[in-house]
């Protein structure tokens, strides 16, 4: 068995935020392979997060992010189980990262389950028409559509988006990792993203005839 040094344990802890004993256990399991140990910790974190997912989250914070230039801003509410965790720097940093993610990636929904039936059917119709236009047989179109819907979810659902700071994981996975570290359920409750000019554009789209005549 490979000798697990304190230095490599600390290195894994710095990369993952997991406890020293958890890091050492993962390194022992992977005979000192740092990359594989990180994968093990991620999997354990996701399993731990799944167990906590049904627990009530009535505490948390509302945070803001204003992009340089003050043309783009985000308000987001992220909930946890206790006021204590809401004040922990790790939780505060998570909320800030989520706000930055929303600013950068412009999600429309939090989870896949939040996508409205109307939006879902509209996208499926678009992808079905696209598949047929590409010459795919109609009987294969539905299967192709289902495959392409995952890409749609990655674009419009916050939890499904690649995390902007580490695009090998999703935002949902990143939150699960924090759940494993902080030992509490964490949920994004709501958000709003505002960009200068969007309100005027939306108003113009509602009244195209008026704008055309002026």
pLDDT in tens, 34-58: 888 888 877 776 555 666 666 778 8
CATH number, residue 120: 1.10.286
For residue range 110-146, what is the model confidence (pLDDT) as tens digits?
999 999 999 999 998 998 888 888 888 877 887 888 8
Q: Last residue of a domain, which of 125, 154, 183?
A: 154
For residue range 54-83, what is the model confidence (pLDDT) as tens digits?
677 889 999 999 999 999 999 999 999 999
In this predicted structure, what is the pLDDT of residue 41? 79
Across residues 187-194, what is the average pLDDT? 96
Residue 1 has pLDDT above 50, yes or no: no
Complete DSSP assignment for 24-46: HHHHHHTTT-HHHHHHHHHHHHH
**Looking at the domain assignment, is residue 198 inside a domain?**
no
Q: Last residue of a domain, which of 138, 154, 170?
A: 154
Q: Last residue of a domain, which of 101, 124, 154?
A: 154
**Looking at the domain assignment, is residue 199 inside a domain?**
no
CATH number, residue 43: 1.10.8.10
Residue 165 has pLDDT above 90, yes or no: yes
**Looking at the domain assignment, is residue 40 inside a domain?**
yes
Domain limits at 150?
Answer: 116-154
**Looking at the domain assignment, is residue 120 inside a domain?**
yes
pLDDT band at residue 88 under the 50/70/90 scheme: very high
Domain count, the chain: 2
Q: Which of 61-70, 151-160, 170-179 has the lowest mean pLDDT?
A: 170-179
Complete DSSP assignment for 88-140: SHHHHHHHHHHHHHHHHH--SBSSGGGS-HHHHHHHHHHHHHHHHHTT--HHH
């Amino acid at each position: 068995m490979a000798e697990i040094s304190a230095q490599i344990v600390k290195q894994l802890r710095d990369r993952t935020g997991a406890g020293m004993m958890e890091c050492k256990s993962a390194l022992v399991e992977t005979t000192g392979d740092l990359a594989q140990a990180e994968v093990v910790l991620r999997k354990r974190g996701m399993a731990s997060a799944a167990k906590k997912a049904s627990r009530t989250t009535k505490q948390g914070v509302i945070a803001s992010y204003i992009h340089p230039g003050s043309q783009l801003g985000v308000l987001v509410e992220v909930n946890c189980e206790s006021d204590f965790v809401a004040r922990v720097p790790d939780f505060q940093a998570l909320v800030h990262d989520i706000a930055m993610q929303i600013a950068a990636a412009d999600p429309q929904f939090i989870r896949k389950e939040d996508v409205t039936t109307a939006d879902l059917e509209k996208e499926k119709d678009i992808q079905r028409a696209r598949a047929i236009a590409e010459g795919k047989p109609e009987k294969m179109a539905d299967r192709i559509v289902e495959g392409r819907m995952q890409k749609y979810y990655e674009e419009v659902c916050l939890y499904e988006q690649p995390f902007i700071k580490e695009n090998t994981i999703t935002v949902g996975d990143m939150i699960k990792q924090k759940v494993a570290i902080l030992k509490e359920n964490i949920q994004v409750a709501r958000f709003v993203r505002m960009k200068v000019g969007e309100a005027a554009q939306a108003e113009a789209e509602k009244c195209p005839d008026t704008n055309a005549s002026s």
